[in-house]
Amino acid sequence: MKRAIGAQWRQPSILPGFGLTLGYTLVYLTLIILIPLTALVIRASSLGFADFYAILMDERTLLALRISFGAALIAALVNVVFGVLVAWVLVRYDFPGRRLLDAIVDLPFALPTAVAGIALAALYANNGWIGALFAPLGIKIAFTPAGIVVALIFIGLPFVVRTVQPVMEELDREVEEAAATLGANRYQTIRMVVLPALTPAILTGFALAFARAVGEYGSVIFIAGNIPYVSEIAPLLIVIRLEEFNYAGATAIAAIMLIISFAMLFLINLLQAWSRRRFTNVR
């Protein structure tokens, strides 16, 4: 019995080099992620609770955090809707220019964020191609919080499309045909068959788009206007504090963003795990 157990434990792993790859992964994560985050937390904790709370409750800090997280949340929600639609069109339809459209989706990945910000500011300014259409209606997009949302939608859309698209390609169309045979209309088929299978991927795309938007800097500062208390994002406020040599204030704001981001991403991961279990049980 003992020999059998020992032989079982001595069997080679299906994935060769597990110990080496696991060690490299831990070292990589420690050097690149854990040590910088730990240094940030230690530097922020040196302020003391009273100073940290004073920075947190500062009106400029609160408004910058609200703009950053609020705009990121709105942009991620918009990207979920249109990202799923774009993925659906790319997967389910064959039309001229489909490959070109598929390549354009990845453009925000390759385009420098500063270039994207300048282009968006030029387009959505009052004298720009798009901004000129809204200016007569009294709607100003560039150099307002609305411009921030536009920039974050631009840089976040590929995350949703590229997360949902491969899952959508693997969906069995026979299940949809069976639902239609049983009398389900298109809305019922999408709501009860397609969406439950896509929900984990949609939540993953939402989390990626939201996380990317919260920390975005380059494409936002050109279109935001950067007006304190109006259109100033938290990453810009951190840079301002660093330029003022207020390192304690910069690390405190960064720590606050870290805590809020971690809490929201943790909640999204819980929802994602719950949706996967629910879909598995339904199947």
Mean pLDDT of 113-127: 91
- Averaged confidence pLDDT in the chain: 85
Mean pLDDT of 70-96: 93
d(CA 256, CA 254): 5
What interhelical angle do 234-243 and 247-282 show, nearest 10? 160
> Which pLDDT belongs to residue 27?
87
How far does Cα 193 stand from its chain's mean position?
26
DSSP code of residue 12 = P
> Which pLDDT belongs to residue 50?
85
> Which pLDDT belongs to residue 118?
92
> Which pLDDT belongs to residue 34?
83
> Which pLDDT belongs to residue 5?
47
Q: Is the pLDDT of residue 11 over 70?
A: no
- C-alpha to C-alpha distances, 147 to 10, 76, 142, 216, 221, nearest whole angstrom: 60, 15, 5, 13, 10
pLDDT category of residue 53 using cuts at 50, 70 and 90: confident
* Virtual torsion, Cα 79, 84, 86, 87, nearest 10 deg: 130
> Which pLDDT belongs to residue 122?
92
- Reference 156, options 200, 215, 198; nearest CA is 215
d(CA 198, CA 204): 10
> Which pLDDT belongs to residue 280?
64
d(CA 270, CA 260): 16
How far does Cα 147 stand from its chain's mean position?
18
Q: Which fold has domain 49-282?
A: MetI-like fold (1.10.3720)
Mean pLDDT of 269-276: 76
Helix (H) and strand (E) counts in the chain: 16, 0
> Which pLDDT belongs to residue 153?
95
- Reference 67, options 263, 226, 249, 266; nearest CA is 226
Q: Is the pLDDT of residue 113 over 50?
A: yes
pLDDT category of residue 140 using cuts at 50, 70 and 90: very high
pLDDT digits (tens, 9 = 90+) for 144-186: 999 999 999 999 999 999 999 998 888 877 777 777 777 777 7
> Which pLDDT belongs to residue 215?
87
pLDDT category of residue 95 using cuts at 50, 70 and 90: confident
- C-alpha to C-alpha distances, 214 to 205, 207, 237, nearest whole angstrom: 14, 11, 13
Q: Is the pLDDT of residue 282 over 70?
A: no
- Only one residue has tokens 């100073």, namely 51
- Reference 211, options 266, 261, 149; nearest CA is 261
> Which pLDDT belongs to residue 48?
79
Are 84 and 201 in contact, with CB atoms under 8 Å apart?
Answer: no
Q: Is the pLDDT of residue 14 over 70?
A: no
Q: For 236, how many CA atoms within 13 A lie in the half-sphere containing its CB?
A: 23
> Which pLDDT belongs to residue 9?
47
For the ranges 123-137, 194-208, 255-269, the maximum mean pLDDT occurs at 123-137
- The CA-based angle 178-183-185, given to 5 degrees, is 95
pLDDT category of residue 4 using cuts at 50, 70 and 90: very low
